[in-house]
């Protein structure tokens, strides 16, 4: 079984759970005999080894004949014509804070001039290039201000990859790669699977970006099968995106077994450590974590709260902590690599995931591997499969604070949750997810 797989990030260069999920899944699938060509916009040279063949879209020459290039461009043009939205000329991009925003604003003039020069240089091709369309595109490998342009370029490269490689199935992860999947399907005639790790409703609530929504829906409409990471997500795809129930299959995520035997780490504080790990964005509910922390500290100062991650709400959370006057017991750790995440969880007394809308949520599983009790939002996919955690509504900061206080002050409860969590997570792996996805591959082949 040969799979052409499209992703936007790969460890260690990740912004959240998407890259982690892609790594865990490709590792498990290749062990089961699936040959995967995994295409990302950009490779940095230090990517984790998983068994999949990694290909940088940046290094792919568009060596198709003029007829094929025209066909790809025609497919993309048709896709764009089917999307109706109002475009506002702004610098709003996902996951940046105020400081980064003004930095982008200040350097925009220089970037425009640079892009003009690049465009001019690309337009000057040799006679051979004019005939074959042989040239390369550049990618940032992230989520910058030219994100939608990179999505388009990525889809153009995908057509070239699809034409030059043999495969049985196309598998696209998240909305950023859906156009690439559609183009590959149109070029090759092979079946397309889109894997939904999150939706625009998760990221933005009801105030969605219509352009992103339309790209998501388009990918789902063209797909032969849709994989949802939870029943929570599957329900959104059926209700909000109009997908037929028989087409949407739930496959819960797993957790990397390499961190299964995490040992407890010495606590440097003479206090209980409560950790939050994730993007500091609306979706992850960081403000509810701060509010719960304030409520706990009003009763008991024997707690330390750690928020690890970055995002567009970072400065607001720092200001909120200062306003609450809890800075002495609240620390911002910034973005952490996987090994650093494991170390933080191994020294924490509990982990809290207060997500407003969480399609799945791998971090609670990583916490449980470290024998760290977890408090998770009921509005999460992972809550469907876990028993030995405390579940609260994301908005119920009183219940969240009560759970934190109880775990921190009752040794029997903390020890029981710690032991049971470790036992439960031992039965959750990427192997199970890989078996289900491999079965979907063979059904479509």
Same domain for 394 and 246: no
Looking up tokens 């908005």 gives: 395
* Co-location of 191 and 277 in the same domain: no
Considering the entire predicted model, what is its pTM?
0.83
Confidence (pLDDT) at 375: 98
pLDDT of residue 137: 74
Q: State the total domains in the chain.
A: 2
Q: Is position 12 within any domain? A: yes
Asked, for residue 107, whether it belongs to a domain, the answer is no
Question: Interhelix angle for 397-409 vs 411-425, to 10°?
Answer: 100
User: Any idea what the CATH number is for the domain that residue 362 is in?
Assistant: 3.40.50.2000
Is residue 120 assigned to a domain? no
Q: Does residue 152 lie within any of the structural domains?
A: yes
What does the alpha-carbon distance between residue 224 and residue 208 come to, in Å, rounded to a whole number? Answer: 25
Q: What are the mean pLDDT values of the chain's consecutive 10-residue runs (445 residues total)?
A: 95 85 95 96 87 89 52 62 49 47 49 50 46 64 80 89 94 96 95 96 90 95 97 97 97 82 80 95 96 98 96 95 97 91 94 96 93 96 96 98 97 95 92 96 93
Query: 249 burial class (0-12, 13-18, 19+ CB within 10 angstroms)?
Result: middle
Q: Is residue 101 part of a domain?
A: no
**Same domain membership, residue 174 and residue 52:** yes
244 and 393 together in one domain? no
Question: What per-residue confidence (pLDDT) applies to 200?
Answer: 94
Q: Please give the Cα distance from 238 to 359 (Å, whole number).
A: 14
* Dist CA 275 CA 277 (whole Å): 6
Judgement on whether residues 250 and 265 belong to the same structural domain of the protein: no
Do 239 and 261 share a domain, yes or no?
A: no
How many other β-carbons are positioned within 10 Å of the β-carbon of residue 123?
Answer: 8
Supply the DSSP symbol for 124. Answer: -
On whether both 205 and 244 belong to a single domain, the answer is yes
* Pair (347, 313) in one structural domain: yes
Is the preceding peptide bond at 155 cis, omega within 30 degrees of 0?
no
Q: What range defines the domain where residue 385 resides?
A: 257-425
In a domain, 365, yes or no: yes
Q: Would you say residue 99 lies in a domain? A: no
Q: Tell whether 370 is covered by a domain.
A: yes
Q: Tell me, yes or no, whether 272 and 307 share the same domain.
A: yes
Q: Are residues 312 and 187 in the same domain?
A: no
Same domain, 171 and 144: yes
Do 324 and 237 share a domain, yes or no? Answer: no
Q: Which residues of 356-373 are buried (b: 16+ CB within 10 A; e: fewer)?
A: bbbbbbbbbbbbbbbbbb
Of 397, 401, 362, nearest to 380 by C-alpha is 362
């Amino acid at each position: 079984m040969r799979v052409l797989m499209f992703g936007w990030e790969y460890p260690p260069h990740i912004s959240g759970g998407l890259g982690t999920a892609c790594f865990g899944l490709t590792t498990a699938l290749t062990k089961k005999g699936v040959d995967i060509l995994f295409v990302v916009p950009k490779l940095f040279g230090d990517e984790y080894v998983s068994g999949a063949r990694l290909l940088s879209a940046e290094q792919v020459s568009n060596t198709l004949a003029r007829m094929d290039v025209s066909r790809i461009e025609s497919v993309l043009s048709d896709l764009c014509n089917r999307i109706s939205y109002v475009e506002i000329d702004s610098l709003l991009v996902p996951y940046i804070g105020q400081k980064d925003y003004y930095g982008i604003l200040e350097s925009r003039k220089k970037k425009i001039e640079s892009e003009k020069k690049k465009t001019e240089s690309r337009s000057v091709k040799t006679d051979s290039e004019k005939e074959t369309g042989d040239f390369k595109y550049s990618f940032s490998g992230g989520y910058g201000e030219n994100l939608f342009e990179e999505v388009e370029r990525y889809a153009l490269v995908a057509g070239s990859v699809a034409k030059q490689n043999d495969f049985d199935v196309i598998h696209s992860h998240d909305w950023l790669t859906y156009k690439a999947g559609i183009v590959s399907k149109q070029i090759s005639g092979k079946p397309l699977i889109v894997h939904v790790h999150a939706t625009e409703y998760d990221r933005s609530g009801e105030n969605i970006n219509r352009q992103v929504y339309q790209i998501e829906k388009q990918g789902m409409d063209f797909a032969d099968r849709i994989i949802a990471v939870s029943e929570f997500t599957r329900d959104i795809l059926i209700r909000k995106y109009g997908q037929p129930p028989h087409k949407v299959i739930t496959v819960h995520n797993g957790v990397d077994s390499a961190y299964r035997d995490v040992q407890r780490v010495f606590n440097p504080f003479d206090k209980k450590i409560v950790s939050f790990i994730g993007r500091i964005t609306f979706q992850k509910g960081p403000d509810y974590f701060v509010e719960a922390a304030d409520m706990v500290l009003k009763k008991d100062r024997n707690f330390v709260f750690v928020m690890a991650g970055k995002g567009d709400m970072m400065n607001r959370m720092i200001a909120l902590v200062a306003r609450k006057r809890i800075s002495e017991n609240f620390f911002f750790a910034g973005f952490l690599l996987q090994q650093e995440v494991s170390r933080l969880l191994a020294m924490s007394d509990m982990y809290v995931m207060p997500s407003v809308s969480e399609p799945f949520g791998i971090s609670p599983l990583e916490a449980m591997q470290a024998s760290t009790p977890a408090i998770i939002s009921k509005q999460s996919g992972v809550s469907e499969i876990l028993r030995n955690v405390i579940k609260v509504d994301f908005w119920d900061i009183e219940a969240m604070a009560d759970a934190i206080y109880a775990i921190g002050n009752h040794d029997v409860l903390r020890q029981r949750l710690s032991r049971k969590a470790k036992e439960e997570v031992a039965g959750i792996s990427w192997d199970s997810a890989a078996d289900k996805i491999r079965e979907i591959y063979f059904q479509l082949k």
